[in-house]
Amino acid sequence: MNIDKRSEALTMASILLLAVFASPILANDVNEDQCRGAFSASINATPYKPSVTQPDTLWFQGKVILDNQLVHCVSSIVVKPSNGWQQVVSGPQGKVNSTILNTQRKSLNRNPQGDFLLPNRGAKQVDFWIQVPQGKTMHPGNYRADFDFSLLGSKVESVTRSAGLDYVIRPFVRARIEANSSSHVSVSGARVTVDMGNLTKQNRRDLDIVVVSNASVKLELDSLNHGYLVNKSKPSHKIPYTTSLQGQTLGLGSSVFLNTLESNQTRFNMAFQNQAVPGAAAGQYEDEMTISLIAY
């Protein structure tokens, strides 16, 4: 019985020794010739769909593709931005807040020179992201980022590949109407209804237009009834009214240039005031006005 147990123990020991030394033998099998291969780097200039929590952030996806021979030879990919690591994208007004993140959109380590280190864990394709936090609200114009890519590994050749991002930001304007809890003004999406009340008296109704733009903005007015409230039953009966912005009377068909704050919302007060007509005919009066905001 004792002999059988000792034999069993020796057998187990020999198996354990084989397991311990198997991994180094395989790793040492990789030689310099097997680590020769090509790679490519590219960046998609079409931004990825923004997240709900970061609606103004632009995300551009990049990728590095390795030949099969390089998959197990490359530990990291070195990404060197031509603009430096702090702000990798530049545009009409200089460098902008931007960086490179890994495929999970997490921060990357950097080498002593400040270059990003994109880790590789035996993958043929290594993805990364270029993040521009305020990309959608940046000043209009052409934005660019250039990168040099090289491989990090004990037996890989010192080769550099280049890839760039070229993207155009176009002028935009967004706006919303706020009625300040007024019972005379109701807002439903882009449509606003203003109740001017008893037209035999002069009345004023106010609302706010909140504007966000990355460019210069002009405002234009158009009135279906040319600045008159018209009696629905008796169209010949008309009551004039005026529209003002920030206290300045607006003319129909003319443009008003808005002093917007770049990348921030700006609030403008708009007011409507009817002329009092004591002998006005009974009935409902109405007009339809179109307010256009144009970024350029």
Domain that holds residue 230: 173-295
Q: Are residues 79 and 150 in the same domain?
A: yes
Q: Same domain for 97 and 210?
A: no
The neighbouring-strand residues paired with 48 are: 59
- pLDDT, block means (10 residues), the chain with 296 residues: 36 33 36 81 94 89 96 95 95 95 97 96 96 92 98 89 97 90 85 95 96 94 96 97 96 91 85 96 96 94
Identify the DSSP state of 225: T
Same domain, 165 and 39: yes
Domain count, the chain: 2
| Same-domain check for residues 136 and 215 | no
Angle at 230 between CA 202 and CA 194, to 5 degrees: 55
Q: What is the CATH number of the domain that holds 40?
A: 2.60.40.3590
- Classify residue 17: in a domain, yes or no: no
Q: Given this model, what pLDDT does residue 54 score?
A: 87
pLDDT at 35: 87
| The pLDDT value given to residue 33 | 64
Q: Is residue 282 part of a domain?
A: yes
Listed residues 169, 203, 224: the one ending a domain? 169
Q: Is 22 exposed, middle or buried (0-12, 13-18, 19+ CB in 10 A)?
A: exposed
Say yes or no: 273 and 153 in one domain.
no
In a domain, 44, yes or no: yes
The CB density around residue 66, as the number of other CB atoms within 10 Å, is 23
Q: Count each helix (H run) and each strand (E run) in the chain, helices first.
A: 1, 23
Q: Cα–Cα distance between 241 and 63 in angstroms, integer? A: 60
CATH number at residue 184: 2.60.40.2040
